[in-house]
Chain A
């Protein structure tokens, strides 16, 4: 197990370094940041002055090594536009994104798992078809449109929920529903498929034959096995959700990582985008590592 842990950790570090290099390269290729910083009235000499002042006229690899060296020491630099420390920007926003991510994941699981179980137990009935329709709805509807519909109905017509901001728990209800509905279908389908497979297995047939209570068969014997892939998917989904939904955070004015990333990308704020990229890749890597370790613990064959 220790050898497996070391192997996975080394791979995780290599992935993080690779992501940072690729991200840095792509960002540098995406446009001339000095001319944007210098503004629309700037003359070529002004652009050159800005490039020099911000160190953008140095060779690419020097810029990367400089960034990496400072990042390793915890200094992620400053925003090129607002001059705020990048670490502070991310720390200020991670709370909002974490609340949204966890609440959306819980919302999705609370809806998806029972629905998946029900659909599997009532396969090919109206219950199953309704569950699958809901899953298709969640996958197909554009997030922004669903968010606007919620705002229109709950915020404008009924006026029961606040439309934007993050001041109270009520402010997170609509964003959670929006993101949760988009996340739910995969869990629902996975639960349904897993339950269908497990329910057809010999040991479940034996459990029924022994006259066990249906709740015991379904939840104690079947669901415990069927839900294992859902646990793995949850870890990956949490990584996705921690990346923040740009659209959801933008529409509901939640000042999270996704919105920060969007604002920074639109004006090519290199230090902020680069740091968010590495931060999110580290989240993914950590969650995937945890998921791998859990799976390895549950299934010894994976360690081989």
Chain B
């Protein structure tokens, strides 16, 4: 509340004062980072802030372009499946790393084998556990061999797989030093410094050979990522010309700021969406949720249109989601919707299920979903369900989930940034701690789809899964979850990024 007043006061003052000038004249973009960026290497410290830097400094073999829903080349010129397990990549011959050393198949083989090696002790190492190894065929040809046919192999390779210079990274005894001290890539931006106090300074790479419509060259001379852990301070800096862009801004504050002359809000929808999941197997001890009619009644009480209009920030980028996927994702195929909003019918269904006076239910939420969780709780109360909200930290939510205490969860799912629904299957289902449905039918279809190399057959399997989830009212997809960026009006933030940060630096330029 106090912080909202602070934002309004600052925005009001800024309206009266001369609009802050961005650093367009100096060709330097300054971004506020809530979390410190101590390395530019997303493999060592995977988080949204690092995805900003990693995507700007490094290139992958290929990239998924959501606009055209196809894979496009980066360091690989072309690729082909030699067999169901083997991908062969023909590599670019004209690419040099930022230090001038040439890029070759050795770098690809080294990087992939480093990612796969359990001794590397990578936090998100499971992303690469489907790979058996990488092999060099010749100086500019490399192969990646999977342990078994893996239908989402290209999607995974095209998501956060930076290619390191083998000669530099391989020599480091402590690999964490690479992203802090010698972050050499091939990307559109080079690293000038990484400093825990000053932040990260990136400069345009003049020798960039990989520019393409889907992977533009740097269009801004210098980019300074400045750690400022308090959002109100970031807002003050934005308004006084100390920053040009801030992100992760709540709805009310973003709208206040966007109404201020000289500032704009950009909402970018990647693959993140909100959902409400219901414990159908009574792990949590709330027996009412085991009844399908009860679950359907709860879903009929949720007004998703109201969430779009009043709760989730992002304007037109916010849409209702009808299946556990976002349309641009590979495998996002379905033909049914969750039960439609109808509170009167919901009450009748509850009565029919044996709960005419409603029942007690606890909604758990984690950071980023608290507001949506509160709104859903209010809607459930309107049909007589005595819904309370337990707002958890991320760690607390994971503990509660593992202990089987989640009755209703309102959360958001990012697919790990993957443009493929495969990770959604392993996220929700498969019998692990997150599985509150224990449905063998889904597990069978999902396992089959993960290895089905024919895209049409694979999509058909996922189609069955998503329709099945809707039919049994297991999980209700709610709305998309766009990233909100507020920036000076002379900066353009192009759409199309699937980055967990909600935007990519190479998609930013001055007007």
Contacts and interface: CB of A to CB of B under 8 A. Distances in A.
A45 B431 CA distance: 12
Contacts, number: 139
Contact of B402 (A32, A39, A166): A32
Interface in A153-172: 155-157, 159, 162-167
A37 interface: yes
Given A83-B176, A152-B6, A263-B36, A40 B414 contact: yes
A162 B2 CA distance: 22
B233 A31 contact: no
B290 interface: no
The 5 lowest CB-CB distance pairs between A and B, nearest first, are: A83-B176, A46-B126, A31-B395, A255-B197, A53-B121
Contacts of A211: none
Interface string B448-487: 0000000000000000000000000000000000000000
Contacts of B398: 31-32, 35-36
A41 interface: yes
A39 B233 contact: no
Contacts of B230: 250-251, 253
A156 B176 contact: no
Interface residues of B, number: 57
A75 interface: no
B236 A155 contact: yes
5 contacts: A32-B399, A43-B432, A84-B180, A96-B197, A156-B10
Interface string A134-155: 0000000010010010011001
A30 interface: yes
A34 to B, nearest CB: 10
B94 interface: no
Given A46-B129, A156-B14, A82 B44 contact: yes
Contacts of B260: none
Contacts of A42: 124, 126
Nearest to B432: A44
Interface of A: 30-32, 35-46, 49-50, 53-54, 78, 81-84, 89, 92-93, 96, 142, 145, 148, 151-152, 155-157, 159, 162-167, 250-253, 255, 259, 262-263, 266-268
Given A31-B396, A83-B44, A253 B227 contact: yes
A32 B424 CA distance: 22
B10 A53 contact: no
A42 B433 CA distance: 10
B256 interface: no
Contact of B232 (A37, A53, A251): A251
A36 B394 contact: yes
Interface string B209-243: 00000000000000000111110110011011010
Which of A82, A145, A162: most chain B CB closer than 10 A? A82
Given A42-B126, A45-B126, A165-B226, 13 more contacts: A30-B395, A36-B395, A40-B414, A40-B427, A41-B127, A41-B427, A53-B118, A82-B38, A148-B6, A151-B232, A156-B13, A255-B196, A255-B197
Nearest to B427: A41
Given A31-B395, A31-B399, A82-B39, A163 B240 contact: yes
B456 to A, nearest CB: 26
Given A53-B118, A151-B233, A156 B239 contact: yes
A236 to B, nearest CB: 27
Interface string B417-456: 0000001001100101100000000000000000000000
Contact of A37 (B9, B123, B237): B123
A165 B33 CA distance: 13
Given A40-B414, A43-B430, A164-B242, A82 B176 contact: yes
- Of A54, A145, A151, A157, most buried by chain B (CB within 10 Å of CB) is A151
Contacts of B3: 148
B126 A163 contact: no
B123 A152 contact: no
